[in-house]
């Protein structure tokens, strides 16, 4: 779906080269503040790491020794002098030296010379917590395998929820919840799976009430009998309404028909649910109902298509909403798609907004998206909203004031040249209105892999997800009577995964404790990354001039935060295919090659592609025009290998390293990067 550009580019007309010193002064903070937070580009803070790891390693050792010290340890002190012991340790060392040697080929995430994928230096709190907890090896599937870390995982969920503006008062309803996953992909699966469980539930409830031989009375938001709701009404209830409806229906059954009637009703619901029947039989039973669709911006991460396939929903039911000139979901097109869904009575299982696109770094206009969503809810089509903030989620800390509330846009604007645009500001301000969010602590949270997270606004959701396992969970407990907070202590019952590392929870938890998720805590790191991006952007006019004899160059999309792409075309070339080829040759200098020592690299970047089908003709004409390329050469079906191509090759720079603006001899790493870029451009073109 292509469409006209809507947003005005607020960055475009303000190119200027700033003085770094002035810049810092303007921002009321300096890079110095970050000095002790990370291990460091040269492991400058290694003594902190080493001291603390040694300390807590000893602490773990003595912990073991305090558990029944009355027994003689199974490994005698004489063991270490035995031949087999010595041989084993020698063999172990040999293998570890080999591993250590191999690891030297690792990607230098830590370095400000790495501006490629979404990884960087590690925060000391998260790194140390991760390592020390690994020694204890807790399993956060359930509290009896992780007495210390499961509560921390739930707390991390609440810390993230607060950052997003979700309600976090456990004594009130709704109250949010969240937990860690192995990564954003699984969190996205969980987002969809939870919405299926909720959105399909009212159909099962109505079905069960038809089969139920007792009265239940009017209920739900439309205050009528369940059997009087139309299918379309049932699949268009909001998350909070569904949670309330379930309680109302079960409560009514219990009240009017006693425990036996209640149990009968509960079994009838269970048997009628999507989860019991499977997609095929559920939609055979409800043959009037169309299978639901999921809406994403056309730039969404590939895991969304994977999710549709894995969950059996089908890739064809993933509807891509076109994007505007800056690769943000186009709200006019969203409206068109929703209008079609309403018209054709196609349920929308989820409307997915992307907060920090992984290819272009852009932020969907979540504020407008929520408004459109609400408009359509009024008209009978309710689309639950899940935000894929795997990349950009932590940026919310910049917008959150200490103690809650949003930082005003005016105050924010004082700290930056352009950031945040009105749309971006409204996107972050609207997060609290959405239903659930994916966020990756192992991306902009600067903690080690694996750490993704799923956060939902209303924890009542978990009542729809229960799994019973005799040996993990006590089947004796009356699960519906326990409070939701207690239930979550059996986390494995409510999530996709089973066994999971408590060390990931400890890592995120300690990080958030030391650097709270607000503007003046964790937000400072991300402010620094945005400033790096603005510096990069501001340096472009001069850089364009410097290399203007050789190439045309442009930043194709206004950066929304800290990721910026570059399109580069040799002067006098008008073939898109050749331009892409040139881009790839440049990238050869800056890519990770497992067969080469990383020390040979001066800078490491990544790349992405702007696909023909994702850009409007108008936008393509403008962009390729700037580069001196014939716009007609961008086509979804290239027939001419010399000229045409189905994509525009872009150098992609993720500017998340905290040290990018560190200055030496009057130059920071972005200056050095641009110098390097000039050098390889000249090398390629001047030979």
Tell me which residues in 282-301 interact with a second copy (CB under 8 A): 282-283, 291, 301
Quote the least distance from Cβ 424 to a second copy, whole Å: 21
Using the rule CB under 8 A, which residue among 261, 450, 628, 643 binds a second copy? 450
What's the CA gap between 463 and 305, in Å, rounded? 27
Tell me which residues in 228-257 interact with a second copy (CB under 8 A): none
With binding defined as CB under 8 A, does residue 436 bind a second copy? no
Tell me which residues in 11-40 interact with a second copy (CB under 8 A): 31-33, 35-37, 39-40
Tell me whether residue 171 or residue 664 sits nearer to a second copy (CB atom): 664
Quote the least distance from Cβ 561 to a second copy, whole Å: 17
With binding defined as CB under 8 A, does residue 392 bind a second copy? no
Prior bond of 184 cis (ω within 30°): no
With binding defined as CB under 8 A, does residue 53 bind a second copy? yes
Asked whether 462 and 187 are in contact (CB, 8 A), the reply is: no
Using the rule CB under 8 A, which residue among 2, 5, 9, 48 binds a second copy? 48
String of b and e for 450-479 (b: at least 16 CB within 10 Å)? bbbbbbbbbbbbbbbbeeeeeebbeeeeeb
Binding pattern to a second copy, positions 632-661, x when CB under 8 A? ---------------x----x-----xx--
**What are the φ/ψ torsions at residue 553 (nearest 5 degrees)?**
-145, 140
Q: Which stretch binds a second copy (CB under 8 A): 176-184, 455-463, 626-634, 675-683?
A: 176-184
Using the rule CB under 8 A, which residue among 13, 22, 81, 102 binds a second copy? 102
With binding defined as CB under 8 A, does residue 487 bind a second copy? no
Tell me which residues in 54-73 interact with a second copy (CB under 8 A): 54, 56-61, 63-68, 71-73
Tell me which residues in 394-413 interact with a second copy (CB under 8 A): none
Closest C-alpha among 644, 639, 642, 640 to residue 620:
644
With binding defined as CB under 8 A, does residue 106 bind a second copy? yes
Using the rule CB under 8 A, which residue among 8, 92, 411, 485 binds a second copy? 92
Asked whether 156 and 509 are in contact (CB, 8 A), the reply is: yes
Beta bridge partners of 436: 386, 456
Binding pattern to a second copy, positions 454-473, x when CB under 8 A? -------------xxxxxx-
**Residue 329: which H helix or E strand, with range?**
none
Tokens of 294: 């999921």
Return the SS3 of 273.
coil
Q: Which stretch binds a second copy (CB under 8 A): 361-369, 550-558, 600-608, 625-633?
A: 600-608
Asked whether 583 and 591 are in contact (CB, 8 A), the reply is: no
Closest C-alpha among 464, 484, 492 to residue 250:
464
With binding defined as CB under 8 A, does residue 265 bind a second copy? no
Tell me which residues in 190-219 interact with a second copy (CB under 8 A): 193, 196
Asked whether 200 and 316 are in contact (CB, 8 A), the reply is: no
Closest C-alpha among 638, 639, 631 to residue 615:
631
Asked whether 455 and 161 are in contact (CB, 8 A), the reply is: yes
Q: Which stretch binds a second copy (CB under 8 A): 143-151, 160-168, 329-337, 409-417?
A: 143-151
What's the CA gap between 273 and 280, in Å, rounded? 12
Tell me which residues in 488-517 interact with a second copy (CB under 8 A): 496-504, 506, 509-510, 513-514
Tell me whether residue 15 or residue 232 sits nearer to a second copy (CB atom): 232
Using the rule CB under 8 A, which residue among 234, 313, 319, 568 binds a second copy? 313
What's the CA gap between 597 and 103, in Å, rounded? 11
**What are the φ/ψ torsions at residue 628 (nearest 5 degrees)?**
80, 25
Quote the least distance from Cβ 314 to a second copy, whole Å: 2
**What does DSSP assign to residue 407?**
P
Using the rule CB under 8 A, which residue among 162, 177, 185, 356 binds a second copy? 185
Cα Rg, the chain, nearest whole Å: 28
Tell me whether residue 138 or residue 157 sits nearer to a second copy (CB atom): 138
What's the CA gap between 414 and 437, in Å, rounded? 29
């Amino acid at each position: 779906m292509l469409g006209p550009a809507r947003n005005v580019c607020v960055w475009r007309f303000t190119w200027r080269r700033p003085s770094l010193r002035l810049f810092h002064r303007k921002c009321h903070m300096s890079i110095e503040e970050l000095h002790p937070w990370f291990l460091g580009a040269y492991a400058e803070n290694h003594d902190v790491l080493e001291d603390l790891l040694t300390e807590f390693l000893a602490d773990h050792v003595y912990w073991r020794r305090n558990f029944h010290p009355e027994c003689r340890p199974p490994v005698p002190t004489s063991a270490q002098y035995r031949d087999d012991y010595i041989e084993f340790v020698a063999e172990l060392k040999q293998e570890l030296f080999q591993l250590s040697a191999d690891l030297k080929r690792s990607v230098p995430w830590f370095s400000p010379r790495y501006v490629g994928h979404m990884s960087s230096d590690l925060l000391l709190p998260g790194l140390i917590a991760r390592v020390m907890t690994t020694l204890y090896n807790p399993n956060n599937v359930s509290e009896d395998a992780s007495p210390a870390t499961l509560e921390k995982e739930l707390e991390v969920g609440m810390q993230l929820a607060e950052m997003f503006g979700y309600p976090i008062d456990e004594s009130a309803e709704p109250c949010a919840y969240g937990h860690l996953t192995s990564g954003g992909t699984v969190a996205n699966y969980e987002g969809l799976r939870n919405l299926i469980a909720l959105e399909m539930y009212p159909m099962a409830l109505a079905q069960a009430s038809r089969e139920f031989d007792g009265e239940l009375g009017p209920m739900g938001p439309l205050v009528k009998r369940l059997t009087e709701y139309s299918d379309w009404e049932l699949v268009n209830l909001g998350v909070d309404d569904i949670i309330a409806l379930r309680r109302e229906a079960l409560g009514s059954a219990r009240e009017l028909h006693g425990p036996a009637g209640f149990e009968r009703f509960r079994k009838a619901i269970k048997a009628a649910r999507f989860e019991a029947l499977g997609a095929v039989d559920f939609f055979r039973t409800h043959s009037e109902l169309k299978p639901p669709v999921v809406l994403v911006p056309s730039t969404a991460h590939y895991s969304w298509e994977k999710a549709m396939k894995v969950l059996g929903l089908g890739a064809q039911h993933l509807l891509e909403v076109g994007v505007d000139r800056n690769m943000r979901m186009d709200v006019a097109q969203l409206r068109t798609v929703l209008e079609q869904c309403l018209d054709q009575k196609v349920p929308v299982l989820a409307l997915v907004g992307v907060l920090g696109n992984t290819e272009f770094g852009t932020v969907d206009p979540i504020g407008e998206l929520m408004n459109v969503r609400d408009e359509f809810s009024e008209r009978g089509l309710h689309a639950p909203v899940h935000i894929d903030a795997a990349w950009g989620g932590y940026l919310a800390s910049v917008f959150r004031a200490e103690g809650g509330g949003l930082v005003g846009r005016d105050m924010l604007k004082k700290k930056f040249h352009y950031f945040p645009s009105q749309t971006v500001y409204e996107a972050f301000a609207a997060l609290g209105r959405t239903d659930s969010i994916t966020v990756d602590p192992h991306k902009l949270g600067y903690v080690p892999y694996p750490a993704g997270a799923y956060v939902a606004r209303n924890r009542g959701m978990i009542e729809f997800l229960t799994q019973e396992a005799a040996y993990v969970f006590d089947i004796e407990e009356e699960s519906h009577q326990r409070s939701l907070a207690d239930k979550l202590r059996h986390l494995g019952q409510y999530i996709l995964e089973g066994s999971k590392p408590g060390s990931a929870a400890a890592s995120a938890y300690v990080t958030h404790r030391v650097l709270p998720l607000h503007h003046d805590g964790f937000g400072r790191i991300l402010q620094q990354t945005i400033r790096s991006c603005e510096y990069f952007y501001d340096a472009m006019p001069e850089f364009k001039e410097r290399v203007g004899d050789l190439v045309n160059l442009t930043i194709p999309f206004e950066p929304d935060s800290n990721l910026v792409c570059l399109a580069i075309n040799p002067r006098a070339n008008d073939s898109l295919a050749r331009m892409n080829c040139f881009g790839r040759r440049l990238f050869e200098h800056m890519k990770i090659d497992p067969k080469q020592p990383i020390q040979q690299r001066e800078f490491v970047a990544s790349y992405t592609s702007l696909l023909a089908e994702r850009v409007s003709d108008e936008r393509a004409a403008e962009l390729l025009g700037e580069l001196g390329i014939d716009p007609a050469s961008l086509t979804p079906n290239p027939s001419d290998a010399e000229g045409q191509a189905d994509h525009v090759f872009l150098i992609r720079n993720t500017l998340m390293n905290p040290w990018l603006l560190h200055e030496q001899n009057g130059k920071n790493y972005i200056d050095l990067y641009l110098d390097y870029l000039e050098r390889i451009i000249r090398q390629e073109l001047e030979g």
